[in-house]
Amino acid sequence: MDSVHLSFGSDGLRGDDLAGFFVGWPQPPSPDRRLEILCAADEVVVCRSADGGVIGFATAITDRRFAAYIPLVEVLPEHQGRGIGSEMVTALLERLRTCYMIDLVCDDDVVPFYERLGGTRLNAVAWRNHDRLGAADG
CB neighbours of residue 22 within 10 Å: 18
Boundaries of domain holding 88: 4-132
Query: In angstroms, rounded to a whole number, what is the distance separating the alpha carbons of residues 107 and 18?
Result: 22
39: domain CATH number? 3.40.630.30
138 inside domain:
no
Q: How many domains does one find in the chain?
A: 1
pTM of the model: 0.90
pLDDT digits (tens, 9 = 90+) for 39-94: 999 999 999 999 999 999 999 999 999 999 999 999 999 999 999 999 999 999 99
Could you tell me if residue 77 is left (phi over 0), alpha (psi between -120 and 50 degrees) or otherwise beta?
alpha
34 inside domain:
yes
